[in-house]
Chains A and B, each alone.
Chain A
Amino acid sequence: MNWLLAVIQTLLFVALAPLLSGWLKWCKCHLQNRKAPSLLQPYRDLLKLIRKQPVVAEHASWIFTRSPYIIFSAMVLAASVVPLIAVDLPTAASADVIVLVGFFAFARFFLALAGLDIGTAFGGMGASREMTISSLAEPAMLMAVFTLTMTASTTNLSLAIAHVLNEGLVLRPSFIFAMFALVLVAIAETGRVPVDNPTTHLELTMIHEAMILEYSGRHLALIEWASQLKLMLYGVLIANIFLPWGIARDFSLHALGYGLLAISGKLAVLAVCLAISETLVAKMRLFRVQEYLSFAYLLGLLGMLSHIILEASR
């Protein structure tokens, strides 16, 4: 029963990810006085891409054709680890948050390899930029995560969330810092506006798009879906770690329905905040990204320090 529920939760994750990015696009369009596409547009795009025949370059090796499947499955595995509507699921107990970071790194490694494999200038450029940014973002993310794990004294996500729930409403200085650090890292890692623009194909600024420029058909569909999943994963992480209220703690139908409603509400609000910030903030120069990410690292470090200094028991 529990395993079935875990599988259903993962499927729900995969199924809802395009809807979240559709909702994000819808909010952004309305904020920028444009006519919004339907909320279901990402599903239609994916369907169209899956039906089309992929065109693969002559010199592409097996890495190029296998990578989309590897990336997508790594993201699905990551989604199975993160509690979406219920804690204490068996999949969440089998892997902790460091494994989750590992899944992200694994997917990114293959994405960069695929970008390099085809041998075009853009692929190599995008891959090198992506690796630069992620090498700066990963320590910041781990710092924020360690702050959480020190508070909950566990690296397991569902146990940590249960710990935060048990404590009730506590205003922790370390959590404020860790949350902001995680938000900054999430924006950088999912390629949103101040770091990378997901909607542009302008040569000099693109990062994520540069790597996947050669992909088409069902390969492109899988990669797009994986990046939508990544966005939703970060959103769920932020919402469920720092504001976990509403998540189901037992497996009754009532609690699960309430959990689903709560997480959709939280994600919708987060997406609106992201849309507002993307409308207000301009994309920054690539060479300023390291300042941005070192600020995220500083926040993570301050979170850790304020946990030790201010919250230590004696």
Chain B
Amino acid sequence: MNIEQQDFYTQAILSMAALVGLTSFLMLGQGRLLRLIFVFALQGLLLTLTTALAAYSLDSPHLYISAMLTLILKVIFIPWMLRRQVLLMNMHRDVEALKNNTAVMLGGAGLMVFSYYVLHPIVQTSSAIMLNALAFSLSVVLLGMLLMISHRQAVAHVVGFMAIENGLFFAAIVATKGMPMVVELGVAFDVLVAAVLFGIFFFHIRTSIDSLDVDRLNRLHEVDQ
């Protein structure tokens, strides 16, 4: 099966998948927190559109509910909350100097090739072309982890964590037409709770080390070197 022989919905879903991958790369190279949060919201929006398109073309209406959940949580609520906290803690003018930005980007491209290599045998077992996007969803997960490794701000770590969740959600859609509703609701609720908890943690980290730079957590010794 080639992409030329697919209908427009499948082509559009695959294109959206590629764009979701692109937003992951954009987040990786972003040093400003507000812009990072904006790109995260954009990824959520693309994910919502993908889910809605899949719901329409696969004729599975329960995916509309998933799309709505994604829209409300990942596009509106969590970015709004993170943005508010960044503004509240007056960090929106900080620019994080990313170390080895080029190396991290190339590493990201390597991760994408790696996830393709890992998933190739699985993708071969089925003829559904939607499964091709599975490698992209795995690379979104891995790029989220890379984001958490390469950035030092705690807010960026939270965004990376949420991006990992985006990747898993995306994998569920392309591989199995969405998880069961109970699981999906549970995960959405978990993410919501996690977002609220992270907000509280931000304030705790800040009051104890006077910064959200996690590198400085190393200095919490009794004797400061």
Contacts and interface: CB of A to CB of B under 8 A. Distances in A.
Contact of B22 (A302, A308, A310): A302
Contacts of A170: 3-4, 11
B6 to A, nearest CB: 9
A interface residue count range (under 10 / 10 to 19 / 20 to 34 / 35 or more):
20 to 34
B105 A298 contact: yes
Interface string B1-31: 1111000100110110111011001000100
A132 to B, nearest CB: 15
Contact of B109 (A172, A295, A298, A312): A298
A310 B12 contact: no
Contacts of A172: 3, 11, 15
Interface in B73-126: 102, 105, 109, 112-113, 116, 123-124
Contact of A305 (B8, B102, B113, B124): B113
A281 interface: no
Interface stretch (B128-136, B146-154, B192-200, B210-218): B128-136
A311 interface: yes
Given A298-B109, A301-B109, A305-B116, A171 B4 contact: no
B113 A310 contact: no
A310 B136 CA distance: 9
A294 B109 CA distance: 13
A294 B132 contact: no
A314 interface: yes
Contacts of A309: 112, 116, 132, 135-136
A173 B132 CA distance: 12
Main secondary structure of the interface of A (DSSP, over half): helix
A279 to B, nearest CB: 22
Given A173-B15, A310-B133, A305 B109 contact: yes
Given A171-B11, A294-B102, A310-B17, A305 B4 contact: no
Given A172-B11, A302-B25, A305-B113, A310 B4 contact: no
B17 A173 contact: yes
Interface string A165-185: 001001111101100000000
A94 interface: no
B8 to A, nearest CB: 7
A123 to B, nearest CB: 30
B116 to A, nearest CB: 5
Given A176-B15, A309-B135, A312-B132, A302 B1 contact: no
Interface in A218-248: none
Contacts of B29: 295
Contacts of A295: 29
Contacts of A171: 8, 11-12, 15
A306 interface: yes
Contacts of B12: 171
Contacts of A176: 15, 18-19
A60 B17 CA distance: 56
Contact of A173 (B8, B14, B124): B14
A34 B8 CA distance: 44
A7 B222 CA distance: 82
B145 to A, nearest CB: 19
B132 A305 contact: no
Interface of A: 167, 170-174, 176-177, 294-295, 298-299, 301-302, 305-306, 308-314
Given A173-B18, A298-B109, A311-B132, 15 more contacts: A170-B4, A172-B11, A173-B17, A173-B19, A174-B18, A176-B15, A176-B18, A177-B18, A294-B105, A306-B18, A310-B3, A310-B14, A310-B133, A313-B1, A314-B124
Ranked 7 nearest A-B pairs via Cβ = A173-B18, A171-B11, A306-B18, A173-B15, A311-B3, A313-B2, A310-B14
19 contacts: A176-B18, A298-B105, A298-B109, A299-B22, A301-B109, A302-B21, A302-B22, A302-B112, A306-B18, A308-B116, A309-B132, A309-B135, A310-B17, A310-B18, A310-B133, A311-B2, A311-B132, A313-B1, A314-B123
